[in-house]
Structure 1
Amino acid sequence: MKTFGSIVVILLGMGLSACHSPSSTGIAKTHIYTLKQKCPTLMEMKVGEILLFNAPENPSTGYQWQLAQPVQNFKTEETFLQKDAEDGAVGVGRIKTFKFTAQKPGQDLIELVYVRSWESAKQPEQLWQCRIRIS
């Protein structure tokens, strides 16, 4: 009976040691923003964390979201999701997503502008900014 009790204690210990919080499992924290949400004055992130920015755009009007300046401490990816529309529909909008993955410690300014490529970006139609410190 002593052996059975020892085995149960060992198995319970092994089971409990397998329980980890999300931060210790290597799952990166993701910060999600839309055009309607402002970023904090200075956001604190860690290497490996992700910032997602989602905003509507309609390229048929010429307006598109783009980075106003390159970022130094992030890997940047852009994707879009086309909105549902009937076949042959023109001028259909979409949701553009920027994914910023923190690569190294430092500070960066993410500045996204909604502009027409042939017009001056000094007066963007819309602007979204986020100053970030990565540790």
Structure 2
Amino acid sequence: MNQRKYFLLTMITIILFFVLISGCTEEKAVIKTFNESNSGETVNIENGEIFHIQLFENPSTGYSWNMTYTEGLELMSDEYTQSNTTEQIVGAGGTHDWEFKAIKTGEQQIKGIYHRPWEGINESINYTTFELIVKVA
């Protein structure tokens, strides 16, 4: 009889342990990432949510992104990473990554222009634009 009670108590303890452990797991939030293909789109972001914009950049050619954004967005990080290659190729491009946090509800905007800053911006100069409307709820 004592063995049976001990066995039941052990089983209850094991089951209780697994129930408690399963409640402790936390789902990782998926961080939204936007790129050139999202230019011109309107996206929905929750207030307090963090998201990324990743765009191709090749600073060795003199071209770089000049990003502007409204005050309802906070820039958390701004980082360029050269493309992974087996050899370090001089002049190889990479990815520029901006991490933003939505800090104010309403419609926010991010605009970028990819150009050589010393050339200015006019019709005869080659440049690319990026624009994203962010609706923060």
Q: Under a length normalisation based on structure 2, what TM-score does the superposition of the two structures give?
A: 0.70
Aligned-residue CA RMSD (Å): 2.7
Q: Larger Cα Rg: Structure 1 or Structure 2? A: 2
- Asked if the contact 2:57/2:64 (under 8 Å) is kept, the reply is yes
Distance verdict in 2 for CA 1:39–1:48, change over 3 Å: farther
Distance verdict in 2 for CA 1:29–1:75, change over 3 Å: farther
2:69 counterpart residue number = 70
Unaligned runs of 5+ in 1: none
How many equivalent residue pairs?
125
More helix by share: 2
* CA–CA distance in structure 2, aligned partners of residues 48 and 122 of structure 1: 37
Amino acid in the other structure paired with 2:127: E
Query: Deviations for 1:23-77, whole angstroms, at most 9, x for unmatched residues?
Result: xxxx443112232x2257421112343322222222343321111x332122212
- Asked if the contact 1:114/1:125 (under 8 Å) is kept, the reply is yes
2:97 counterpart residue number = 97
Aligned pair partner of 1:3 in 6, 9, 24: 9
Q: CA deviation at 1:78?
A: 1.3
Identity of aligned residues (%): 19
Q: What is the SS of the residue equivalent to 1:104?
A: coil
